[in-house]
Amino acid sequence: MDTHEIVPHRSVTARPAPEGIETPIDLLALVTSGLRPLSVAAYRADYERFREFTGHPDAATALWALLALDTPRANGVALAWRTELESAGLRPATIARRLAALRRAVNRARMVGLTTASIEAPSPTVETYRDTAGPGRSGWDRMLTKARQLTANERPRDIRNLAIVLLLHDRGMRRGEVVTLDYPGDYDPERPGVSVLGKGRSDKEWLTINLRTNEALSDWIKARGPDPGPLFMGLPERKRIDGATINRMVKKLARSAGLRKVPTAHGLRHSAITEALDRGWDVRDVKAFSRHKSIDTVLVYDDRRGDVGGRISEDLGKGSRARKGPFSGA
Q: Identify whether the C-beta of residue 209 lies closer than 8 Å to the C-beta of residue 271.
A: no
pLDDT at 315: 67
For 62-111, what is the HEC assignment? HHHHHHCCCHHHHHHHHHHHHHHHHHCCCCHHHHHHHHHHHHHHHHHHHH
Is the per-residue pLDDT at 194 higher than 80? yes
pLDDT score, position 261: 86
Tell me the C-alpha distance between 216 and 227, whole Å: 18
Tell me which of 13-22, 160-169, 220-229 is least confident: 13-22
Average pLDDT score over residue span 57-72: 92
Could you tell me the pTM of the whole model?
0.63
Domains and CATH numbers, the chain: 3-111 (no CATH), 136-306 (1.10.443.10)
